[in-house]
Each structure stands twice: as structure tokens, then as C-alpha cells.
């Protein structure tokens, strides 16, 4: 029969040691996860603001080339495919084939004529996907940076 040395008998972790590590990991997760989730929400809002700013720039170029903004029926799609308007040059959004959805997977809303004393309105319905709620991101409410 083989005799085990003291070191060989103590080579594993005890249940208490494992429980302490699990508790420490749970505490870290409880602190880190809410902060990460909050940052994801902030980054989605920033992405929507960036998209709306890109649409505004593309609409200005479209207007210069065609003499006006797309109609309500043409919508933002007029920025990526020719709606049959004279002067339309090319995709005004970095060679995109279609208008992207907002960061929450919903289409951006384009209104022409504007309801807010602008040339047009562009908005994202935000995280709740409902129009005209407090979480909407709107071209007429974006602060210039």
C-alpha cells in the first residue's frame, strides 16, 4: 500500500475556499453588470444621434444635387437608391444598399414637411419603440456638440 505525503493529501481546494471565490465573483458581477448595461444604453443613444447626423448631412447633399429634399413617400431610401429624381448622383450614405435600422431594431422616422419648423424631421422611437415618448431621439432636439 502506498503512503501519501502531507502535500499530496492537501492538493485540492476545500469547500470553504470555493465558496469564498464564488461569493467574491458574485459581488463583482453585482457591481459591474449594472454599469455595463447602463453603458450599452448610452452607446445606443449615441449611435442613433450619429445616424441622424449622417442622414442630415446626406440630405443636404441630396438637396444640393436634386434641388430639394425627398418627399414623405420617397423617405430616407432616396438617399441610397435613385427615386427617379433628376440630378440624383449616387448613394449619399457611404455606398450603403439600404437605410439601417436604429440601434433598437426599428426604422427611423422621416417626415417631410417638418412638424418642427425645419426642412424635415428625422427621429428614432428609442428603446421602447413607441413614437412620441420621452425616450425618442429627434433631429430637432439633438444638441450641437
CATH code, domain with 89: 3.30.700.10
Indicate if the pLDDT at residue 144 is higher than 60: no
Candidates 97, 98, 90; CA nearest to 61 is 90
Computed over every residue of the chain, the mean pLDDT equals 86
| DSSP symbol at 140 | T
pLDDT in the model for residue 7? 58
Q: Is residue 130 part of a domain?
A: yes
Q: Is residue 8 part of a domain?
A: no
d(CA 94, CA 1): 76
Q: Is the pTM of this model over 0.85?
A: no
Q: What is the pLDDT of residues 27-62, one digit of tens each?
A: 988 888 877 776 777 888 899 999 999 999 999 999
> Domain count of the chain?
1
* Domain around 94: 22-138
d(CA 10, CA 26): 27
d(CA 49, CA 56): 11
- pLDDT tier for residue 9 given thresholds of 50, 70 and 90: low
Q: Is residue 10 part of a domain?
A: no
- pLDDT tier for residue 2 given thresholds of 50, 70 and 90: low
Q: What is the pLDDT of residues 91-117, one digit of tens each?
A: 898 767 889 999 999 999 999 988 888
- pLDDT tier for residue 4 given thresholds of 50, 70 and 90: low
Amino acid at each position: 500500500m502506498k503512503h501519501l505525503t502531507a502535500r499530496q493529501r492537501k492538493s485540492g481546494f476545500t469547500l470553504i475556499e470555493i465558496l469564498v471565490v464564488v461569493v467574491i465573483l458574485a459581488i463583482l458581477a453585482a457591481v459591474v453588470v449594472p454599469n455595463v448595461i447602463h453603458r450599452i444604453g448610452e452607446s445606443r443613444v449615441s449611435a442613433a444621434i450619429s445616424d441622424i447626423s449622417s442622414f442630415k448631412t446626406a440630405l443636404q447633399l441630396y438637396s444640393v444635387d436634386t434641388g430639394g429634399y425627398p418627399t414623405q413617400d420617397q423617405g430616407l431610401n432616396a438617399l441610397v437608391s435613385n427615386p427617379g429624381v433628376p440630378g440624383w448622383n449616387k448613394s449619399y450614405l457611404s455606398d450603403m444598399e439600404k437605410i439601417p435600422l436604429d440601434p433598437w431594431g426599428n426604422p427611423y422616422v422621416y417626415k417631410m414637411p417638418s412638424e418642427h419648423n425645419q426642412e424635415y424631421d428625422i427621429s428614432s422611437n428609442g428603446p421602447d419603440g413607441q413614437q412620441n415618448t420621452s425616450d425618442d431621439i429627434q433631429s430637432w432636439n439633438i444638441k450641437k456638440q
